[in-house]
């Protein structure tokens, strides 16, 4: 029998006192109302119920933890955000099941590239099965506010890094590494890379190619994969730092795969590998992301603009304009150290391919 659209459904129940009550809906408060909404087929209804459940102590927490088993990744993300700072062992155990952590050290260096600190960190992630035993690890990036671009005092800066401006970036998940050749082959069925190796970054891919990859992974796995916006990329790269590199004031070939014959500022000359390297070979930043400096340039979603005048300040993609060029970030194995700075920008036509260009992907929490 076809459902009568005018009849109230069980999941139409709302807490008493809510200002917007669906016409014909039952008024149901407390734990019964939360249970009813968590059983609803509508994702937004379930997520709204989670924020209410936290008010009901242990009973509410049990309901929130139970929602981790929901089929929707959006609901799982919502549970993660509610519970990620809780210290109860049983809650931590459940989060580890769905959003495990990995441990790593993030290091900083001085102006000459010499290590001066090493601190332990951890990050939450989830793993996506791409098929054939290939997984894609996505790391949680907490939202925050940062200064995008470079200050006038930064050596080697370009005018198109102006103006130095405040941007607020919502939380999202970013690829732990640039997309590898194994991941590309699992999804696309080919390998365009010039430097072959399963664990090496895929390269020789255009912006159009990268967008197609995201679309295919999204269709296959039911999540919204996409390229990072330029603001998200810089925020993720900096990982709360304000220096030229997330390592500090400088880099060396022991930390980054770049053209070591051309160091930054006071660093000594070093090795130039003249090819890509396996992802994860060098230390990550404090967010747990690898190869944000060097190895391959990474496509971002934005169109090219000659400066940041009028740029979004909410972390979103800057899509307005008519430029055929798309943004690249991070530098590569073939670039000077100055081009690997967190603020450095590059661009190429959306159909362009180079052996020093790859990408990493993002997933929204909403």
The per-residue pLDDT for range 35-91, each reduced to its tens digit, is 999 999 998 999 999 989 988 999 999 999 999 998 888 898 899 989 988 999 999
pLDDT for res 10? 38
Domain 103-364: state its class: alpha beta
DSSP for 129-143, written as a single string = EEETTEEEEEEEE--
Segment 119-128 shows an average pLDDT of 96
Q: Rounded mean pLDDT of 7-22?
A: 40
Q: What is the maximal distance between C-alpha atoms in the chain?
A: 77
Query: Domain residue spans in the chain?
Result: 10-99, 103-364
pLDDT of residue 72: 82
pLDDT above 90 coverage of the chain, percent? 83
pLDDT at position 30, please?
A: 87
Q: Cα torsion for 74, 300, 122, 97, to the nearest 10°?
A: 30
Q: How many Å from the N-terminal Cα to the C-terminal Cα in the chain?
A: 34
Q: What confidence score (pLDDT) does residue 196 get?
A: 98
Collapsing DSSP states into helix, strand and coil, what is residue 187? helix
Q: What is the pLDDT of residue 74?
A: 83
H/E stretch holding 107: strand 101-109
The whole-angstrom separation of Cα 339 and Cα 345 is: 8
Q: Which residues are registered as beta bridge partners of 98?
A: none
Question: Residue 148's closest CA among 273, 25, 316, 352?
Answer: 316
| φ, ψ dihedrals at 159, nearest 5° | -60, -30
Kindly report the pTM of this predicted structure. Answer: 0.89
Mean pLDDT of 302-311: 98
**346-349 sheet: strands from edge to edge:** 346-349, 325-329, 297-303, 357-358
Residue 16 has pLDDT above 60, yes or no: no
CB-facing half-sphere around the CA of 115: CA atoms within 13 A: 10
**Per-chain mean pLDDT for the chain:** 91
**What are the tens digits of pLDDT across the range 131-175?**
999 999 999 999 999 999 999 999 999 999 999 999 999 999 999
- In the prediction, which pLDDT does 28 show? 56
């Amino acid at each position: 029998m076809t459902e009568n659209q005018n009849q109230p459904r069980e999941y139409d129940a709302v807490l008493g006192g809510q200002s917007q009550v669906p016409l014909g809906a039952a008024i149901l408060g407390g734990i019964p109302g939360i249970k009813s909404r968590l059983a609803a087929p509508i994702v937004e209804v379930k997520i709204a119920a989670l924020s209410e459940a936290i008010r009901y102590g242990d009973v509410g927490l049990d309901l929130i933890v139970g929602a981790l088993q929901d089929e929707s990744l959006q609901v799982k993300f919502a549970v993660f955000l509610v519970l990620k700072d809780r210290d109860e062992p049983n809650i931590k155990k459940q989060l580890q099941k769905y959003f495990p952590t990995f441990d790593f050290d993030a290091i900083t260096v001085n102006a000459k590239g010499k290590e001066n600190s090493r601190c332990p960190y951890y990050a939450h992630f989830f793993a996506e099965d791409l098929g054939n035993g290939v997984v894609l690890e996505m790391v949680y990036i907490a939202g925050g506010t940062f200064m995008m671009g470079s200050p006038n005092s930064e050596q080697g800066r370009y005018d198109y890094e102006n103006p130095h401006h405040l941007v607020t970036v919502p939380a999202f998940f970013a690829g732990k590494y640039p997309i590898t050749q194994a991941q590309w082959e699992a999804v696309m069925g080919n390998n365009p890379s010039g430097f072959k190796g399963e664990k090496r970054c895929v390269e020789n891919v255009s912006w159009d190619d990268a967008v197609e990859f995201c679309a295919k992974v999204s269709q296959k796995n039911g999540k919204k994969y996409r390229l990072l916006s330029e603001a998200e990329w810089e925020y993720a790269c900096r990982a709360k730092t304000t220096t030229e590199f997330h390592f500090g004031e400088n880099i060396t070939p022991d930390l980054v795969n770049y053209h070591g014959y051309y160091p930054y500022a006071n660093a000594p000359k070093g090795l130039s590998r003249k090819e890509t390297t396996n992802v994860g070979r060098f230390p990550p930043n404090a967010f747990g992301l690898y190869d944000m400096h060097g190895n391959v340039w990474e496509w971002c979603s934005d169109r090219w603009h000659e400066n940041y005048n009028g740029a979004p300040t909410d972390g979103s993609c800057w899509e307005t304009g008519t430029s055929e060029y798309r943004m690249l970030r991070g530098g590569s194995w073939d670039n000077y150290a100055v081009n690997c700075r967190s603020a450095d920008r590059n661009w190429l036509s959306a159909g362009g391919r180079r052996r020093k260009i790859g990408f990493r992907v993002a997933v929204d929490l909403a």
